[in-house]
Amino acid sequence: MRKQQPHSDSVQAFLDEVPEQDQARYTLRLYVTGHTPLSTRAIVRIRKICEEHLEGRYDLEVVDIAKNPTLAAGEQIIAAPTLIKKLPLPLRRFIGDMSQTERILLGLDLLKTEEKPSSKS
């Protein structure tokens, strides 16, 4: 009869397999509407964030809702631009012009704890 391993060992084994957040590969999808100034700015901003903070470890797909409405409907996109972080989990959505870099970095878990704004004065 095989001896069952303690639960904590299996949890630790799982955690050991999960890549560190600073080494994880990011899968992002940015939904835009055509070649509008708002869409263009969102693309530029997200690419800049990715290059500065995720260099070499991200996949960014830009989807034009006008050209691919089925994909947008499947993701339940109701506004554009919308950025979806698919991986690493948890899934996150960012809606708007993508100008709030700090908010996006926080949502992508790219700001270290000491860098996060505190409520203390």
Cβ contact 67:32 at 8 Å:
no
DSSP assignment of 14-80: HHHHSPPTTTPPEEEEEEE-TT-HHHHHHHHHHHHHHHHHSTTSEEEEEEETTT-HHHHHHTT--SS
What is the rounded CA–CA span in Å between residue 6 and residue 16? 16
Residue 16 CA: distances (Å) to CA of 68, 87, 90: 39, 18, 18
pLDDT tens digits, one per residue of 48-99:
999 999 999 999 999 999 999 999 999 999 999 999 999 999 999 999 989 9
Q: How many structural domains comprise the chain?
A: 1
Is 45 part of any domain?
Answer: yes
Q: Which two tokens stand for residue 38?
A: 């708002």
* pLDDT of 18: 47
Would you say residue 7 lies in a domain?
no
Stated pTM of the model: 0.75
Query: Looking at the domain assignment, is residue 53 inside a domain?
Result: yes
- Closest alpha carbon to 102 in 55, 53, 51, 60: 53
CATH number of the domain to which 93 belongs: 3.40.30.10
Q: Give pLDDT, residue 19.
A: 47
What pLDDT is recorded for position 93? 97
Confidence at residue 111, expressed as pLDDT on a 0 to 100 scale: 83
6-42 confidence digits (pLDDT tens): 555 665 555 455 445 568 999 999 999 999 999 999 9
Is 80 contained in some domain?
yes
Decide if 14 is inside a domain.
Answer: no
The answer to whether the CB of 107 falls within 8 A of the CB of 60 is: no
